[in-house]
Amino acid sequence: MPNEENLIPFSERTESEQREIRQKGGVASGQARRRKRQMKDAAEYYLSLPVSDRRKFNRLARRYVDAEEIDNQMLMVAGLHDAACAGDARAATVLIKLLGEDTPENSNDGEVRIVDDL
Domain locations along the chain: 14-103
| One-letter identity of residue 110 | G
pLDDT band at 44 (very low <50, low <70, confident <90, very high): very high
In Å, how far from its chain's centre is CA 14?
41
64: left (phi over 0), alpha (psi -120 to 50) or beta: left
User: Which conformational region is residue 95 in: left (phi greater than 0), alpha (psi within -120 to 50 degrees), or beta?
Assistant: alpha
- Regarding pTM above 0.75, the answer is no
- The overall average pLDDT reported for the chain is 88
Chain centroid to Cα 79, Å, comes to 17
Distance of alpha carbon 71 from alpha carbon 76, whole angstroms: 9
